[in-house]
Amino acid sequence: MLPPIASRFVAGETAAAAFDHARSMNDDGIGVLLNLLGEHYDDPEDVETDVAAYHTLIEDVASTDLDASVSIKPSQIGLDVSDDLFAEHYRSIVSHANAHDVFVWCDMEDADTTDATLDTFVDVARDHPWTVGQCLQSNLKRTREDLERVADVPGAIRIVKGAYDEPESIAYTEKSRVNEAYRDDITFLFEHRDRGVAVGSHDPEMVSIARRLGEEHGTDYEIQMLMGVREDAQRDLAVQGVDVQQYAPYGRKWLSYFYRRVRERKGNALFALRAILGR
């Protein structure tokens, strides 16, 4: 049984529990991104276990009528072992998903993983168009160049502000500067794409900007938010006809999930606290 603080942000310890949560969200008009908890594996056996679990998850999602996709982490499927192993598993998961008509999102982790993750995304998306989406982080100074690189790639792009505490030499560290970069990156995506734009933010200002840009450019887009954070706002947006997708992790590794989030950035703990308090 998950403790109350964990059950706020984690959709249970099993896929069955996660599916129940997805059905509940679907009833409110919200799609769900299912992420099996697990990351930073340096043992190939751990990698193989979770890759197999994702193949099964894809088959299970395909057997339902759920509005649900799958979300993976690079370090979960082999990146901490080798770039080649990661690429092999990224490709196998997306290929399997393509065969079952299930969409796959790939998260972005710390800045050291960006090149390997993007290189693989670009190759896989070209082989399996519009089956995969990739996350990018606006706090990294390199992100505008990365967006220009993937602007014409046939895969979706999720843009987030970035949750990792990166050094000032490669990242914007002031909140105002991150917000400025995020606004610019959102605008770039809407101006250069007609589909496959995902705005990952709980910031009401950024959500409003996305809605305005969507109307202005006619771009097909979605708003993505975390399970347990501003869920009333998620439902309100869905009622208003906005495509809302909720990121819902599940699995037995929820304790390490919370511990890593706090270690990566102290602000993550305050973010979770504000979410619990409803602020």
Which of the residues are catalytic? 107, 158
* Rounded CA separation 39/92 (Å): 18
Say if residue 212 is exposed, middle or buried (CB neighbours under 10 Å; 0-12, 13-18, 19+). exposed
How many other CB atoms sit within 10 Å of the CB of residue 20? 13
Beta-bridged to residue 109, according to DSSP, are none
